[in-house]
Chains A and B, each alone.
Chain A
Amino acid sequence: KNQVEQSPQSLIILEGKNCTLQCNYTVSPFSNLRWYKQDTGRGPVSLTIMTFSENTKSNGRYTATLDADTKQSSLHITASQLSDSASYICVVSAFSGGYNKLIFGAGTRLAVHP
């Protein structure tokens, strides 16, 4: 069964600190992996999209890594800001039920405190 699992479920850090969010997936065949940021009550906003051949991709203070062999990805946030408080969702593009679609993880809820 195609699944995307994220850890931790929630995380609290102090402003200015770094953090790393994890994503493990059991999806085959794999097309791409995406990280989204979702503020409460809003739609997701794309941070990165990574294909099979990409190991790392950055978007400002966000850096995503991908290990296609172990089927693991991480999202590293550097020098966190209060505005980083949100849910971070790992999404894998997969072939399921006869066609391709996005498989969403449950997300990691990040709270950045002053």
Chain B
Amino acid sequence: GAVVSQHPSWVICKSGTSVKIECRSLDFQATTMFWYRQFPKQSLMLMATSNEGSKATYEQGVEKDKFLINHASLTLSTLTVTSAHPEDSSFYICSASADRRTPWRSEQYFGPGTRLTVT
């Protein structure tokens, strides 16, 4: 089946620094990738949707200048948390779809997640 990887799996950083998280589709071309965050015992919350080669679409309440998303190729999307603060500590999960036109109808393949802790 389709495999999505994330790197790193966990990261600890100091407040004020920036952290980059990578999401890769290993065996298919992901025209659309999604970034979620998940707090303990809560469900996934969509942060943004990115299509390869175009700007990401952010959900209401998500600061686009703080969470920079780049989807430069069909197999790689990156999420950069800029000037991280302790409240940004969370579990970040990406997913990928090979269907650009109707990604909400097709299968989404999730990465294993990245645990970010900001001290």
- Give residues in A with beta carbon < 8 Å to B: 31-32, 36, 41-46, 49, 89, 93, 97, 99-102, 104-107, 109
Contact = CB atoms under 8 A, between A and B. Distances in A.
Given A31-B104, A46-B107, A104-B43, 19 more contacts: A32-B104, A32-B105, A36-B110, A43-B6, A43-B93, A43-B95, A43-B110, A44-B93, A89-B43, A89-B44, A93-B104, A93-B105, A97-B59, A99-B57, A100-B104, A102-B46, A102-B108, A104-B45, A105-B43
A45 to B, nearest CB: 7
26 contacts: A31-B104, A32-B104, A32-B105, A41-B115, A42-B112, A42-B113, A43-B93, A43-B95, A43-B110, A43-B111, A43-B113, A44-B93, A46-B107, A46-B108, A46-B109, A89-B44, A97-B59, A99-B57, A101-B46, A101-B49, A101-B104, A102-B46, A102-B104, A104-B43, A104-B45, A105-B43
B70 to A, nearest CB: 20
Contact of A106 (B42, B60, B115): B42
Contacts of B42: 106
B112 A43 contact: yes
